[in-house]
Each structure stands twice: as C-alpha cells, then as structure tokens.
Amino acid sequence: MVLKGALTSISLAIAATLLPTLIHSSPVLSSREANTTSYRNNGLQDLVQWDSYSLVVNGERVFLFSGEFHYFRLPSPDLWKDVLQKFKALEFNGVSFYFNWGYHSAKKGVYDFTGVRDIQKAFAAAEEAGLHVISRAGPYINAEIDSGGFPGWLGTMYSMARKSSPENDANSREWLNEIDKYLVPNQITEGGNIILNQIDNEYATNIDPYYHEMIKTKFAEDGIVVPSIYNDPWTSGRFVSGVGSVDIYGWDSYPVLFDCSNPEIWPANASTYWRAFHESNNPTEPMALYEFQGGSYDSWGGPGYEKCRRLVNERFAKVFYKNNYAQGATIQNLYMVYGGTSWGNSAGAGTYTSYDYAGAITEAGLLTPKAYELKLQGKSYVNPHEGLECRRVPSSPPSTILVDGLASIDTHAKFYIAQHRNTPSNELDSFHITVETTDGTFVVPRSRKSKLVLNGRDAKILVADYDFESQHLVYATSEIFTHQSFESYDVLIVYAYEQEDGELALKLKNKDHHQVKVSSSAKGVSSSVKNSIVQINYKHPNGTISIYVSSSGDDGDGNTKDLLILVAGYESAATRWWAPTVKDTASDRVLIQGPYLVREASIEGSTVHFLGDIDEDTPIQVVVPDYVKAFTWNGKAIHLRKGKHAIWTGLLKFTAPKNLLLPDLRKLDWKYSPASPETHPDFDDSSWIVANHLQTNSVTVPSSWPILYADDYGFHCGNIWYRGKFNGSSAITGFNLTALSSTASGWVAWLNGEYLGGYDVGNHAFENPKGLKTEGENTLSLLLWTAGHTGDWNANDEFKIATGFTLATLLGIGNQSIWDIQWKIQGNLGGEDLADPARGPYNEGGLYGERFGWHLPGFDDRAWKVVSPQKNRTGLAWYRTSFDVHVPDGYDVPLAINIKDETNTRYRALIFINGWQFGRYVNDIGPQTQFYLPAGILNTKGTNTLAIAVVPFDKGAQLGEVTLEPVGVLQSAMPAVSLVDSPGYDARRTY
C-alpha cells in the first residue's frame, strides 16, 4: 500500500532506488527517456508487475520492506498477531513466511494443518496487519531447522533429494500439493496477501535445473500465479534464464557473518558492485535482496545472543541497509526480524533451543534499539509515480566518505547516501557535499559554524531540492523521519545524533519575506534569509526542540502555510517518534513521541485513540489535526496540555501490575522419580523394534552390521535407546562403539545395569568393562542424546547423515557374526505414528518418561517422592511440579525458565511446560540458560505443569536452581492470547 503525505528515511531511499545510479558513472537521461519503461508481468496475472526499478502492485510502485517470521517457531497462533502488529508498527509492509514440510508431516502421506499448524491464521494475521506476503514453501528451506525442513521420513528415501527423479519428484509434489491448498487462495489475485512465491531455497550447489523446473511447474499446475522468485546465496546469476528460471531473480547477503564471539569485528566492506551486477544480469527486474542479514544465529557453546545483538546492532542496520538502498535494492527482506524458538527437537544441527537470532524483535517479543532504527528507515513510502532519473549528481566528499548521489525521474529531488568508504570505520569525520538544485549550487553546510559529520559505523540519507506538502526543501543536513500536512501548518521531523549540528534551507513561496518569521525557544537556533531562501541552523538536542516558520509555504490556492520543524536527538527522542496511519484512512497520520510501542491510531469525532505499550512513566508529545481536542490511550482518557505550536504534551503513567502472580519455584514441592529402567538387564523390551536392517539409504557407510541408524527404524529426533544382548565368554574382553550425531550430541553406556560413562559422539573402546560376564547373557544399554540433523544446503543428501551407531563390535574375538549382539531400538512412542499429534513430530524423544507421558498435565505423580532437585542423584531423573500464574489484563509479561548451575557436572535436561518441550539445557556446553515460555503455551491465568528430565553424563547429577522470571513488564494493548490445545495424560495415544 502506498501512503501519501509523509516522507521518511526509507521513502528517500525508495525514491532514490526506483532508478538509482552511483554518482561516479551515471549517464544523463532525459525525463522523457526515463519514463518510457513499460511494466512487465508473468502473463498469468497483472496485479503484481515490475520493471527495472520496483514492484508494481495494484498499479502502484512498492518498495517491499519485508521481514522474516517463522510461525513454526512460535506455537501460539494468537501471538502471531502480536508479532505482525509490531512488524507494521515498525513500518514493514511485508512479511516472509517459510513453510516447514517436516513440521506438518510426521509420516509419508500424513499432513496436519490444524492447531498450532493452522497456517491460515498466519495469513489472517498478515492481512489484519496490512502486510504483503512472500511465500517460501521449499520444499527445502534450510532455516537452521532439523533437516532443513525436510520431514524425518524423507531421510530414508533411496533417491537424492533436490534432484529430479521419479521418487523425489513424487515426494516433493506430495508436499506441494498439500501446502498449495493454502497458498493458492491466499494470493493477491484471490483477495489474499501473497505477492511473490519462492522456488526452493538457496539452490546453488550440485544443482539440477530440472528439479527447479519441476517445482515451478507444480506450483503453476496447482494455481500459483504470482511472480516466482529465486534467492541466490550469492551473485551468480543462476536461474535468470533457461530451465528452472524464475520471474524475478534476487540474492542473499550476510555481510558480517555470524561470529558473535567477536561482535566488534565487521569482516568486510558493504558491497558497491551490486548495481553493476544487476544492470548486467537482470536489468529488466527490480534489484531484490530476498534474505539480507537481519541478525545472527548462535551455536552450541557460543557466546549467547546478547553478543550477537552487538554484532548486528542498530549501527549495522544504519550502514548496511542504507547501502542497499544506495545500490538500488527495492525488495529487501530481512532475515530474521523475529526469530522465535526452535522448540522441542526441531533445531537443526549446531543450534540450540533459542532462535532469537538477535533480531529486531527478541524471542520474548520485546523491541530492541535495532527495531527503532528500522522504524526510522521504514517510515512511509513515496508517491508511486516518483522515481529517479539516471543522471550524474556531483558532490565533493573527502576521500574517507563515499556518497551515492541519486536523482528523481519525475521531480528535481536529490538524495545523497553518505557512508564511510571503510565500512567498519569507527572514526568521526566531517565533510561537505556539493548539491545541485533548481535554486542553485550549494556546498553544504554553508555556515562556517556548522559541521556535517558522520560518526563511526553510521550512514545518512540527506535530501535536497524536494517538494513536500506546501513547502520546498532546498537541502537538509539532518535526516528526515517524516512530514505531514495538517489544516493550518505542515510538520517536518528531522534527526541526528545528539549535539550534531544541523542546517536546513527552505525556498520561500511567500513573496513577502517580511511575513516569514523563524521562531524557537531553543538555544542555538539561528536563521537568515537571502534570495528567497531561509537557512536555519541548530544543534540536535537531548529530546526534541521545535522551530516554527510562519508563512513559508503555499497550499496551492494562494494561501500561505506555516511549517513546524521538530528537531530530534537520535537516541533521546527520534527512535520513539511514531507516525501511525489513522485507521480506515489511506494516508492520514498523527505524530506521537515517547511510547515504547504505538500499535494503532484512530480518530473518532474530535478524539484520537492510541493503542500501544509502555514500560515506564512516559512523557509524550503529540501533533494532530487542529480539530482534535481529546485523547485516549488503550481505551482510557488521558489529559494532555496544548502548548505552543500545537504540540500537545502529557504523561502516560506506568502502573505496575498489582495482582501479578508469579511463583518462586525454589519454594514449591518438587516430585521425583528415577527414570532409567532400560539400563536394568531384566527390563522388558519386548515391544521395542528389532534392529536387524542390513541396508540403509543413509549417506553414512556403516562400519558394522546390523544398521543401528535411528531414522531407518522410524525414530527421527530426540533421545534414542539401544539395548544389545550378547552371550558372555572368556574370549570377550569388551566392545567397541562409535556414535554419530550432530554437535552437542552425546551418549551414555551401561552394562548389566552398571554405569560405564558418558561420552561425546565418536568412538570409545571398552576394555574389560565393569560388570562384564563371562557366562550367561550380557545386556548393553545405550542412550543417545541427539541434537538435530544437518540440513541439505549443498544438495548432496547430507541431511541423510546417520544418527546412531556406525560401529558396534565385540572385542577379543575374531570372525564374529553380525548377529553376535542382538539389538533393539526405541525412540519416541509410536515413531512416525505420533502418540501426541497436537504437539507434533518434534516434541518428544525416547526417554522412559516421555514414552509414558510423565511430561503431560494430568499424569498421576502422587506416588513420587517430594525432593529437592538440587541434590545429586545417579541415573536419569524426572522432576515435576505445578504452579499458578496470573498476568492481569492490559499487561504483557513474557516469562522464562532460568537455570543457574555453577558446577561443572556434565548433564543435560529437557524442560516441558504443560507437555510442550521448550528447553534443551546442556550444563557443560551452554550457552543457553534462559528458556522463554510463550503465552498460550504457558497458562498466564491459571495452573501450569512443569516437568524436567535430567540426563547425567557423569554418574550422577543435580539439577541447578530453577526459577521463573519475567523478561519484561509492559502495560500493553497486545491482542488477547488464548490457550493452545494441550492434551493431557488421559488423551495420550498408546501403542
């Protein structure tokens, strides 16, 4: 949707990039030449068209400012509304959805789109927020998710994935047939929000173009008509033409990579070659960045997401995103804006439960400084007919500063995007820019007392020769946030870092210069008039100052109009200025400064109604139409005082929730049960699967037989038990085992009930182990803690790397039979036939307590002992407790389980809340110690069941101190959150 009447930083970039070039090499084109371009489409529809400059949606130019959101990482559909409201409040106009095949299909031919998998609710939330949708259904998605989104059962397929073959094509088409039932009716052509549809994901290595073509063909057969897209992981030009080609090519970029351990290091400069590549590679399409770095993932043993936030902070956003606009990008999708949680066993190899990703919105739904920077960049969109003319714009910055000068096709507007040539520079540099305008050529700033500076790791979009509302801006050395017209005056909000100089020049439209007056109560504001140009100098304050220019504009009917200039300091005020579109209008906006979040504004009669969040007592400033006389905040009247220049001021009083009820988990009764009967020789494993396969479709070649790979027996995630029996003899001196699984996996061994040790994955030979019997039957019990499958980014079937044991042989005897050890295997109850379909294929593994429902609400634990979890106990242990929570209406209080353990004991723990696994804690590896519990999963107005399974890798382990703590406390207008369906013990399927 194109909004009129407000220009902002992203507006400038959008305008600048509809037809941009670098200042060094721009050919001169006339406006007539520049406007002869016709729109293109794919011949299947004409609602989404394009040219070399931008998308054209419903006949209007659109800069697609989009962010990634994964519904499958937030299994509480009502919270999808909350997150996407925040997208909209941060001025995104689009959202990208991956669709996770494995999340919906536990077994071949079985698909589930109900409950937390009801993706229609995701489309509805996007529509309600007014967001365009990029659909990305794979089949492969990567996303640091288990198997890259492939279902577990696909890992046993004979044929290679991501290659065209009868078997793989049939499986891929099966998935697309199911997901397309939702994609097709949600296209813009059907009244929905999907405007682009991606083919597979980052398909760049070992490619088979006919596989790509097969997916594209299947989408078309099912009725997908919106433009197809391809996200190249680098600028290679794949699938621009030929077999498998798409409508609009684009690429991905993660310029500072993912080394969160060194957050101050930016390893490379921002790209300056993309424009030339685009012009030579796909010049008839807009420049598209389908995944641009919005954060960073963290890995097992990593430094944690707080350090990742420093790596990809608001300064990263300032520099790299503005460089994208300078290069010409008009489709930019940030990966991720909200990361979420890889709950259950859904995390891919190498990553842990939290997928916060250091996004603009945290895992708990809180806003970060980067979020506010994105709001500044993303505010509003230019008129659909405003483009840029390819002509050289001279400037003379110093050698340390790179300035991309861009000029409009249809108007005289100029845009200068300034950044350090050395992108990681922390230097503060001053510089001048020569700007050519219809009012003359100026070297700015003109005042000898004023400096134009660029902080280290900063970038600026500066505007010149720009008409807005009834005013004409000659130039400004401040960045523009927004502008808006009200009845008797216009408003312009500009900003820069505190104490930076600012200079702004206006061309007076009033011929009687004596009527024009510049007034301000702020110190340091000065002005002068020469040749009908008023020059205003000021310093950016702590907070916001106002400068009022009377009779500077012309409303087009011969009437003069005043201008209110609001000058904001970046950190103290600009980040908390909001300009929400008035509900049920196309472009009318009101302005408010101060709140943590403004979700919505509406006007009824002479009253403005705001909906939003605050986190403390919040002074506010409001600028609204003249006829507005009253205000409400979250449905309650607030008293504001109208001051000078029509600025209303007041205070939003933060009231701490008086009846907030949070338990002290340390003081509760915890129930305990030992939980490793599988280690006892006489354990009844008659219902377990006999491991007797002699062949496998895994890419891992076994070193002994039978095959002991969990996926081959239908167990695809979580803990896996193996029991092997062999007859003792004096010749047998032990056994040799090699375990294989991903990073942070491990295994524990027992022989005849005796603990042998806990190990990282790899080989261990047990010579003369304790408990080995030379006569009679020996029972070897092995517990494999798995941590997710590798993806298939290289399209070489690496997601089929085995999880299990590649070697299991006896020591001391030669010429042994593959049947000398009789093996059985057990994973999650039911395997691919889920015991708990509501929670799905990733929630459970094969621990005894998981199989028998100890993690579920309603399980009868009355016979369990009341204990302290902090006591060291041998063997696996389960702890259960229940507690009440009450978060009153009108508040958002995200809660998290915290585990504090300063010991070096090697143990792992699974955290279940109301039956949902929301934490995989690894005490000796880390880094995660805080586990977010989303509302809807957590009952915030009632009773909750907490169960924790402890798996010692040392002989015994204690559970560290467990607490429930708020991540934040907000007075909030967040949408109501209903409880998700969380079946209890009585509803559990048995096998």
**Burial label, 13 (beta-carbon count in 10 A; 0-12, 13-18, 19+):** buried
Select which of 68, 178, 202, 285 is catalytic. 202
| Contacts for 889 with CB less than 8 Å, ≥ 6 apart | none
Phi-psi region of 734 (alpha: psi -120 to 50; beta: other; left: phi over 0): left
Strands 248-253 and 287-293: parallel
For the chain, what's the residue count?
991
Between CA 511 and CA 83 the distance in angstroms is 50
CB 579 within 8 A of CB 590: yes
Residue-wise DSSP of 396-446: ---TTEEEEEEEESSS--EEEEEEESSTT----EEE-EEEEETTEEEEES-
Between CA 348 and CA 150 the distance in angstroms is 11
φ/ψ of 188, rounded to 5, equals -60, -30
CB 823 within 8 A of CB 808: yes
CB 17 within 8 A of CB 385: no
Residue-wise DSSP of 233-246: SSS--TTSSSTT--
∠ Cα 61 67 73 (to 5°): 150
Q: Is 167 a catalytic residue?
A: no
Q: Is 798 a catalytic residue?
A: no
CB 976 within 8 A of CB 910: no
Residue-wise DSSP of 655-683: ---TT-B---GGGS-EEEEE--GGGSTT-
Report helix angle 166-183 to 119-129, nearest 10.
Answer: 50
Buried-exposed string 692-729: b where 16+ CB fall within 10 A, e elsewhere: eeeebebebebebbbbbbbbbbbbbbbbbbbbbebeee
Select which of 291, 314, 500, 844 is catalytic. 291
Tokens of 190: 């059907």
Please list the residues that pair with 389 across neighbouring strands: 407
CB 186 within 8 A of CB 198: no
Please list the residues that pair with 947 across neighbouring strands: 880, 912
**Burial label, 280 (beta-carbon count in 10 A; 0-12, 13-18, 19+):** exposed
Between CA 967 and CA 896 the distance in angstroms is 7
What helix, strand, coil percent values describe the chain, rounded to 5? 15, 35, 50
Between CA 937 and CA 693 the distance in angstroms is 40
Cis ω before 663 (30° cut-off from 0) = no
Residue-wise DSSP of 247-293: SEEEEEE-TTTT-TTSTT---SPPPS-HHHHHHHH-TTS-EEEEEEE
Active site residues: 202, 291
